[in-house]
A and B are shown apart, each in its own frame.
Chain A
Amino acid sequence: MSEHMQLFEVFIRSRRGLDHKHVGSLHAEAHAQALEYARDVYTRRSEGVSIWVVKSADIVASQEADCESFYDPLDDKPYRHATHYQLPEEVDSM
């Protein structure tokens, strides 16, 4: 354990109806404190209507370096896109 407190990631919903978006991180002793710090540090100009804090250690992330093996089979399927299908002009807005 470092001498700093635990690291938390901060997500903010800027407006109702939108997703929470990652804005940065901060150190705190516990969730409740992280929430207060996040309010103080990240929403001073009323940037948000809702804050999520998550322990950084709890985040499991894929690595860009693993892209090829992780996503590989998805790139050769152009038929997943609407533009793959050529339709007569009159109905092309479908």
Chain B
Amino acid sequence: MTDNLSDQQLEQRETEFQQRIDAEEKIEPKDWMPEKYRQNLIRQMSQHAHSEVIGMQPEGNWITRAPTLHRKAILLAKVQDEGGHGLYLYSAAETLGISREELIASLHSGSAKYASIFNYPTLSWADIGAIGWLVDGAAICNQVSLQRTSYGPYSRGMVRICKEESFHQRQGYHIMMTLARGSAEQKEMAQDALNRFWWPSLMMFGPHDADSVHSAQSMKWKIKRQSNDELRQKFVDQSVKQAEVIELELPDPDLKWNEERGHYDFGEIDWEEFKRSMTGGGPCSRQRLAHNIQAHDDGAWVREAMRAYESKKREAKDQAVA
């Protein structure tokens, strides 16, 4: 895309590009863009797509064991949505000139990441509630902000996804509420799930702004519109009330209203655990990836059969013409 430009021409284009961004205009697929902008987007969008798809596993784990037919239908619909989100995002990433095969290959080789939260196991039904409430809740904070990202196809994908997400968090919260208002044992289940998913949910927003490798450039290019720490704070602030209403306790002794800041203060994240989970050392990391690879391989014959059928149809048609 940047072929054969003199340094001066390149600088000129980069200036125009930044002016367009500063003027809040979207970048569209056929526009000239700095190679690093393209790379940065591919990294972020594919990581996002992989997260949607890998995220189907921990929830899928409970579809057959949902406590009622109604809850089962809801969970099935939600997991189906997440698969769709993966598709929207892969397709949007492909407008940047990378193929689906390349995207999947880098997931399978481990060079592309996905949200580390999906490397935690879902041990009880309450975990499905905690995931909808907290994990989808955190994802929504992020995605609402990304509706204003500078890349057109990504932004439009986010608008569509946000519309569909609206029921995900509510169904999760509804599960938690029902358990929290049930028997003592059920309430304990809900609290236990909250204890395990709270901190990993906070990690979903990524490292502190000061430690985030890609943040400054992403903000300048408006790929990201709000920083990791801003979004994390927003999430904490909204979650406090939500926990209070169903009388569950957020597992953080340092959580305290700060009158001066107008926000809640909260404790420090265990960044060592974050790093471990992000680099394949999470409790279910190997299993998640192995399952995805296996599903991909198991589907190979279907793709092959479809190709064979189409080429036979074409042959028959060509023969009829000849």
Contacts and interface: CB of A to CB of B under 8 A. Distances in A.
B241 A16 contact: no
A77 B77 contact: yes
Nearest to A79: B74
Contacts of B166: 81-82
A85 B25 contact: no
Contacts of B228: none
Contact of B70 (A19, A79, A82, A86): A79
Interface string A3-29: 000000000010011010000000000
30 contacts: A13-B28, A16-B25, A16-B26, A16-B152, A17-B26, A17-B28, A17-B156, A19-B156, A79-B70, A79-B73, A79-B74, A79-B171, A80-B77, A80-B81, A80-B167, A82-B166, A82-B170, A84-B170, A85-B167, A85-B173, A86-B174, A87-B170, A87-B173, A87-B174, A87-B177, A88-B245, A90-B241, A91-B173, A91-B241, A94-B242
B47 interface: no
A91 B242 contact: yes
Interface in A67-94: 77, 79-82, 84-88, 90-91, 94
Nearest to B238: A94
Contacts of B167: 79-82, 84-85
Given A50-B30, A85-B173, 4 more contacts: A90-B245, A91-B241, A94-B169, A94-B242
A87 B214 CA distance: 38
B73 A77 contact: yes
When A and B form their complex, which 3 residue pairs have the shortest distance between CB atoms, in order from nearest? A17-B26, A82-B166, A85-B170
DSSP majority for the A interface?
A: loop
Interface of A: 13, 16-17, 19, 50, 77, 79-82, 84-88, 90-91, 94
B142 interface: no
A83 to B, nearest CB: 9
Contacts of B242: 91, 94
B143 interface: no
Contacts of A81: 166-167
Contact of B77 (A79, A85, A94): A79
Q: Which of B30, B137, B171 has the largest count of A CB atoms less than 10 A from its CB?
A: B171
B155 interface: yes
Contacts of A79: 70, 73-74, 77, 167, 171
Interface string B21-54: 0000111101000000000000000000000000
